[in-house]
Chains A and B, each alone.
Chain A
Amino acid sequence: MTTKNKSAGVNRRQFLSGATAGVAAAALTNPAAAQQGSSQAGAQLAAVTPPSAAAEAMEYDVPEGYSAEEAREYFVRHPGSDFMVDVIKDLELPFITTNPGSSFRGLHESIVNYGGNSKPELLTCPHEEQAIAMAHGYAKVAGGKPIGVLVHGTVGLQHASMAMYNAWCDRVPMVVLGGNHFDATERRSGVEWSHSAQDAARVVRDFTKWDDAPLSLQHFSESMARAYKIATTPPMGPVVVIIDGHLQEAEMGSQAPTIPGVAPTVPPRGGAAALEEAARWLVEAENPVIVVDLMAHDQDGVERLIELAEALQAPVVNQAGRMNFPNTHYLSQGSGVVAQADVILGLELYDTWGLLNTLRDRVHRDEQRIARPDARVIDIGVKDLFIKSNYQSFQRYHASDLSIAGDAQETLPSLTEEVRQQMSRARRASNSEREQRWRAAHAQTRARDLDAARYGWGASPVSTARLYMELWQLVKDRDWALVSNDSLQSRWARRLWTIDRHYQHIGRAGGAGLGYGAPSAVGAALAHRAHGRLAINVQRDGDLMYVPGILWTAAHHEIPLLSVTHNNRGYHQEFMHLQRMAARRQRGIDGSSRVGNELDHPAIDFAKVAAGMGVWSEGPITDPNDLRPALIRALDVVDQGEPALVDVICQPR
Chain B
Amino acid sequence: MLAKPCTVARALSALLILMCVEVSFAQDADQAASDGRALFTANQCWQCHGYEGQGGAAVRIAPTLYPFEAFARLVRHTNLMPAYSPNVLSDEKLRQIYEYVRSVPEPPALEDIPELSGD
A residues apposed to B, CB below 8 Å = 360, 362, 450-459, 461, 463-464, 466, 469-470, 472-473, 476, 490, 572, 575-576, 579-580, 582-584, 586-591, 593, 651-653
B21 to chain A, nearest CB (A): 33
Chain A positions within 8 Å of B44 at CB level: 575, 579, 589, 591, 593
Among B11-19, B25-33, B49-57, the stretch that binds chain A is: B49-57
Chain A positions within 8 Å of B119 at CB level: 476
Chain B positions within 8 Å of A450 at CB level: 110, 116-117
B88 close to A452 (CB less than 8 A) = no
B79 close to A651 (CB less than 8 A) = no
Interface centre among A450, A463, A582, A583 (most CB of B within 10 A): A583
Given contacts A458-B108, A579-B44, A652-B50, 12 further A-B contacts (CB under 8 A): A453-B116, A455-B107, A456-B107, A457-B113, A459-B54, A466-B115, A472-B115, A490-B55, A572-B47, A586-B87, A593-B47, A651-B51
Question: Complex formed: what's the CA distance from A622 to B75 in Å?
Answer: 31
Q: B84 an interface residue at 8 Å Cβ cutoff?
A: yes
Closest residue of chain A to B117 (Cβ to Cβ) is: A450
Q: A579-B82, A586-B87, A651-B50 are in contact. Are A454 and B42 (CB under 8 A)?
A: no
A456 close to B50 (CB less than 8 A) = yes
Question: Complex formed: what's the CA distance from A117 to B108 in Å?
Answer: 56
B residues apposed to A, CB below 8 Å = 42-44, 46-48, 50-57, 60, 62, 79, 82-85, 87-89, 107-110, 113, 115-117, 119
Question: Complex formed: what's the CA distance from A583 to B79 in Å?
Answer: 13
8 pairs of A and B residues whose beta carbons are closest in the complex: A456-B54, A653-B56, A583-B82, A455-B54, A580-B82, A456-B52, A469-B115, A588-B88
Question: Complex formed: what's the CA distance from A456 to B113 in Å?
Answer: 12
B50 close to A591 (CB less than 8 A) = no
B33 to chain A, nearest CB (A): 17
Chain B positions within 8 Å of A362 at CB level: 79
Chain B positions within 8 Å of A461 at CB level: 51
Closest residue of chain A to B82 (Cβ to Cβ) is: A583
Closest residue of chain B to A589 (Cβ to Cβ) is: B44
Question: Complex formed: what's the CA distance from A341 to B68 in Å?
Answer: 36
A364 to chain B, nearest CB (A): 13
Chain A positions within 8 Å of B113 at CB level: 454, 457
B110 close to A586 (CB less than 8 A) = no
Q: A587-B88, A652-B56 are in contact. Are A454 and B107 (CB under 8 A)?
A: yes
* CB < 8 Å neighbour of B57 from A459, A589, A652: A652
A367 to chain B, nearest CB (A): 13
* CB < 8 Å neighbour of A458 from B79, B107, B110: B107
A468 to chain B, nearest CB (A): 10
A454 close to B88 (CB less than 8 A) = no
A576 close to B88 (CB less than 8 A) = no
A652 close to B107 (CB less than 8 A) = no
A584 close to B51 (CB less than 8 A) = no
A490 close to B56 (CB less than 8 A) = yes
Per DSSP, chain B at the interface is loop
Chain B positions within 8 Å of A360 at CB level: 79
Chain A positions within 8 Å of B46 at CB level: 651-652
Chain B positions within 8 Å of A583 at CB level: 82-85, 88
B110 close to A454 (CB less than 8 A) = yes
Closest residue of chain A to B49 (Cβ to Cβ) is: A652
Chain B positions within 8 Å of A470 at CB level: 115
Question: Complex formed: what's the CA distance from A337 to B14 in Å?
Answer: 59
A-B contact pairs, 18 of them (CB 8 A): A455-B54, A455-B60, A456-B51, A456-B52, A459-B51, A463-B54, A466-B115, A470-B115, A582-B82, A583-B84, A586-B85, A586-B87, A587-B88, A588-B88, A590-B42, A651-B54, A653-B50, A653-B57
Closest residue of chain A to B85 (Cβ to Cβ) is: A586
Chain A positions within 8 Å of B83 at CB level: 583-584
Question: Complex formed: what's the CA distance from A579 to B84 in Å?
Answer: 10
Closest residue of chain B to A594 (Cβ to Cβ) is: B44
Closest residue of chain B to A366 (Cβ to Cβ) is: B79
Question: Complex formed: what's the CA distance from A472 to B115 in Å?
Answer: 8
Question: Complex formed: what's the CA distance from A464 to B51 in Å?
Answer: 12
* CB < 8 Å neighbour of B43 from A451, A576, A587, A590: A590
Chain A positions within 8 Å of B88 at CB level: 582-583, 586-589
Q: A452-B55, A588-B88, A593-B47 are in contact. Are A457 and B42 (CB under 8 A)?
A: no
Q: A461-B51, A589-B44, A652-B47 are in contact. Are A584 and B56 (CB under 8 A)?
A: no
Closest residue of chain A to B59 (Cβ to Cβ) is: A452
Chain A positions within 8 Å of B47 at CB level: 572, 575-576, 579, 593, 652
Chain A positions within 8 Å of B53 at CB level: 455
Chain A positions within 8 Å of B116 at CB level: 450, 453-454, 457, 469
B107 close to A457 (CB less than 8 A) = yes
Chain A positions within 8 Å of B82 at CB level: 579-580, 582-584
Interface centre among B43, B50, B51 (most CB of A within 10 A): B50
B56 close to A651 (CB less than 8 A) = yes
Closest residue of chain B to A454 (Cβ to Cβ) is: B107
Question: Complex formed: what's the CA distance from A455 to B108 in Å?
Answer: 8
Question: Complex formed: what's the CA distance from A593 to B57 in Å?
Answer: 16
Chain A positions within 8 Å of B109 at CB level: 454
Chain B positions within 8 Å of A590 at CB level: 42-43
Question: Complex formed: what's the CA distance from A586 to B53 in Å?
Answer: 23
Question: Complex formed: what's the CA distance from A464 to B54 in Å?
Answer: 11
Chain A positions within 8 Å of B110 at CB level: 450-451, 454
Chain B positions within 8 Å of A453 at CB level: 116
B60 to chain A, nearest CB (A): 6
B48 close to A576 (CB less than 8 A) = yes
Question: Complex formed: what's the CA distance from A321 to B44 in Å?
Answer: 31
